[in-house]
Structure 1
Amino acid sequence: MELEFIKSATVRVEEGETEVLCDPWLIDGAYYGSWGHYPPVDFDIEEYNDVDYIYVSHIHPDHVHNKTFERFNTDIPILIHDFQFDFLKNNLENMGFDVIELKHNHRTHLGGALHINILAADNCNPDACGSFFGCDWLDDSTDGYGSSQIDTMAVFDNGDTSLVNINDCPYELSQSAARDVIDQYEDIDHLLLPYTGAGPYPQCFENLSIDEKRQEAKVKKQNYYKQAENYINLFEPTYYTPFAGTYVLTGDLADLNEYRGVPTRSEAAEYLRKSSKVDSDEHECVLLNSQTTFNLETGIQTESFTPIDEDWLQKYISTELCDREFPYESTEQPTVDELKQYIPNAYERMEETRQQVGFKSDMDVIIELVGDHCARISMEGEGFEFVPQEIATQSEPYVKFSVDPRLLKQLLQGPRYAHWNNAEIGSHITYDRQPNRFERGLYYCMNFFHA
């Protein structure tokens, strides 16, 4: 079995004459234009049009990137988990692809000796999601069973050799699914290992000073290093490769890069190789350049790894990436009345979700509209009000969302136009959180704040 690293979470698994491309994001501009690659993509995407399958782990655009998929032959079958909700399936079918939904934790033959097994991060246990998100996921829509989480992991095997692709699965949520994999496959030969996480914290939080952002970025790195250590010690692979979540912010957001708390793959490898919690004699770290391969049976890679040149990266950001525009920047600025018209229906939809999942908080959400106009939204079912910003921020606790009004209009129109979670991951939303208290359920509920 061979593993080819391509970009970020995009890899190709080959066994005999059967090839599977995983999570293709190969064109800059994911997350409403803000995510770019470094080093830049310097090959033709069509090189991968002869694969037998494409596996998509979940719906985030650095894993299923529409502009990338537009370059693929639509006769390539797409493998996904049989999710409780059909958002991912519908998105792929709307692009013209045939989608094969695979049952949770079911080993499926693909061709030759190659098999795949896809497991939901929450191991199809809504209670696990409830614990992770801080809300009651066990509602009527799940019938007490079904994957209510969007992330999945996949196991590829040929009967003798196994490769586990964890993708973006959080360790806290995914231990049960991981243990099921270990019970079935025993010895894991190769682990594709998440080593970082994308998100708006700390770079997008105005309540933090520059020094505080730098400190929080260090804490964020350490937390994800700890997750990587936990995964290595849980799976005990012969080899592991840090991957996924490798991106740089572009356009007007480029100045935020240094505060993201996202290490390079080289930094992660150096940390893990030196970690006292990882036995480097038993678990070998393998780093691959783009479009190079590693043979899982022989332990040989096609060429030595070349670390990123940090000086060239900074030059590329300053001369190329920072000048890029986001798609919404070419649209017209909405008026405050245009935005206000969406708020009542958006609140009703969000409130229905909040009640359904059992989330409640005394922390209000303030959304900047246009100029000094704001909407202050209760997370306790007490409605919303339109107030000037000066009044909106007089009483704590609150978290204020600030986003370009052109993107805000799309967010309020609904997921067909833009999605709050993607805007958040793309660093398009600036937050002011008073006090600096994180409540995961609040941000989950806000994903449904659209008309």
Structure 2
Amino acid sequence: MIEVTYYYSACVGIRTPEASVLCDPWFTDGVFDGSWYQYPKLADPLGVIGSYDYVYISHIHPDHYDPIFLRMYLASHPSARIIIGDFPLNFLSNRMQADHIPHEVCEKISIGETIVRIIPNQYPSGIDSALVVKRGEQSVANMNDNLYNEDHLEKVRGVCGAPTIALTGYTGAGPYPQTFYSDPETLAIKAAEKREEFFQRYLRMQSALKPQVTVPFAGQYILGGRLHVLNKFRGVSDAVEVTGFDPTAVVLQGGGQGSIATNSLRPTAERTTPFDLAAMESYAASLADRPMLYDTYFGDMPLQTIPFRRLLPKAYENASRRSACSEDSYICIKLGGEWVVANVREGSAQCLFTSDVSSFQPRWEIEIDPRYLYGLVTGLFHWNNASIGSHFTSSRTPDIFNRDAVGFLNFFHV
């Protein structure tokens, strides 16, 4: 028998008679540089969660890797062992070493009849992983944020076949559409399209795994601080909506109240009604005065004191060395009354300052607080966190996603 207990977002506990694994405990507010908060907030996660043998961290994003909580957890449960996947480029291990978080890179743990496997996913960015816990003929597959990748799924199925219980994503976080459009009607349309897209992703993953029970989870957050006004435009669904089209779906009650075991497949407590949107928005509004991390770091530092004309060309040189874009495509970042324009095409060596960007196509216009931009180009912050945290606004001409441009921006620092 394997039992799954749900705590919050991607945090679940998985127990067998021989071993227990706590997955992705995120309980520190203000991650993604100050913008992500929890709702509903679990008042005493340490007390509710209790003791586990292992703590599995799936990937480096701060709603999965929470070093502040991990230090607290290890102080209360010093025998717990933190385990992560063996990634070819192990950014998570590097980050943990820098944060002085003890951890083990591993692929497989066997204890009695229990097998624990961590399976990295190389698509699309090489940072995600899945966890499979197997005991006898029963199994649990924790897919958390993994995107559909047949090679990865084949490895998961190779460990457990069709899992008894699969935990899968059902909704999307990130900056789209709330930071890309300003018209409320357009935002409503794009948010609805996004919800439907992620429902289809959920169904594709569910169809590939064919579990007896699917638990839709993860991606549960609200934006705080000055960004709280964007919450209703994020296109983030409630997990309960999944039960309307997937008969295998079970939404467990959070806070450790809901659990489900592989032998009975009967949940102890389900959440059957969506969260109250008015209450959620009211709570988010109460966070309006919370500062972003760059507010705390830089205060009122004026734009004219930041040496962008020296820093940005150097950041461009670093990013261009890693570019994989084969065609002209321009990133345009606004700096007061002018723009810095970077051509992301491999080998283009084109970075310039101009007052007009209308002639550059295709282009991605970015407007961002200059203090935060300074932190990003100097490496204090990371562009991926800035994007997921909804910290800058974007406009694309034409309105087409360019993954190569996003990859270029992630290395746009000195």
Give the structure-2-normalised TM-score.
Answer: 0.92
Secondary structure of the residue aligned to 2:150 is helix
> Counterpart of 2:6?
5
> Counterpart of 1:87?
91
Secondary structure of the residue aligned to 1:51 is coil
Distance 2:395 2:49 in 1: 43
> Counterpart of 1:420?
383
> Counterpart of 1:153?
130
Give yes or no for the alignment of 1:329 onto 2:295.
yes
Structure 1 counterpart of 2:144, from 153, 164, 167: 167
Question: Cα RMSD (Å) of the superposition?
Answer: 1.9
> Counterpart of 1:72?
73
Whether the aligned pair in 2 keeps the contact of 1:239 and 1:286 (CA below 8 Å) is: no
> Counterpart of 2:117?
117
Distance 2:128 2:140 in 1: 17
**Given the superposition, is the C-alpha separation of residues 393 and 69 from structure 1 closer, same or farther in structure 2, using an over 3 Å criterion?**
farther
Give structure 1 stretches of 5+ with no counterpart.
Answer: 123-128, 133-147, 274-279
Give yes or no for the alignment of 1:345 onto 2:314.
yes
> Counterpart of 1:359?
325
- How far the C-alpha of 1:48 sits from its partner, in A, is 4.2
Give yes or no for the alignment of 1:222 onto 2:196.
yes
Range with greater deviation from structure 2 (373-382 or 418-427) = 373-382
Distance 2:184 2:95 in 1: 39
- How far the C-alpha of 1:43 sits from its partner, in A, is 1.5
> Counterpart of 1:408?
373
Structure 2 counterpart of 1:384, from 332, 342, 351: 351
CA deviation digits over 1:138-173, x for unaligned, max 9?
xxxxxxxxxx611111111122310001111111xx
Distance 2:237 2:368 in 1: 26
- How far the C-alpha of 1:252 sits from its partner, in A, is 0.9
- How far the C-alpha of 1:112 sits from its partner, in A, is 4.0
Secondary structure of the residue aligned to 1:38 is coil
- How far the C-alpha of 1:18 sits from its partner, in A, is 2.2
Q: Which amino acid aligns with 1:118?
A: I
Whether the aligned pair in 1 keeps the contact of 2:120 and 2:127 (CA below 8 Å) is: yes
Distance 1:211 1:161 in 2: 47
Give yes or no for the alignment of 1:441 onto 2:409.
no
- How far the C-alpha of 1:290 sits from its partner, in A, is 2.2
CA deviation digits over 1:336-358, x for unaligned, max 9?
4423321122111100000xxx3
Distance 1:5 1:256 in 2: 27
Whether the aligned pair in 2 keeps the contact of 1:411 and 1:419 (CA below 8 Å) is: yes
Q: Which amino acid aligns with 2:83?
A: L
Give structure 2 stretches of 5+ with no counterpart.
Answer: none
| 1:33-44 equivalences in 2 (<5 Å) | 33-44=34-45
Distance 1:184 1:166 in 2: 13
Distance 1:13 1:189 in 2: 13
Distance 1:236 1:438 in 2: 31
Secondary structure of the residue aligned to 1:285 is coil
Calculate percent identity across the aligned residue pairs.
30
> Counterpart of 1:98?
102
Q: Which amino acid aligns with 1:401?
A: I
Distance 2:330 2:283 in 1: 40
Distance 2:48 2:402 in 1: 44
Aligned length: 403
> Counterpart of 2:241?
267
Give the structure-1-normalised TM-score.
Answer: 0.84
Distance 1:269 1:28 in 2: 29
Whether the aligned pair in 2 keeps the contact of 1:70 and 1:95 (CA below 8 Å) is: no
Q: Which amino acid aligns with 2:188?
A: R
- How far the C-alpha of 1:191 sits from its partner, in A, is 0.5
> Counterpart of 1:195?
170
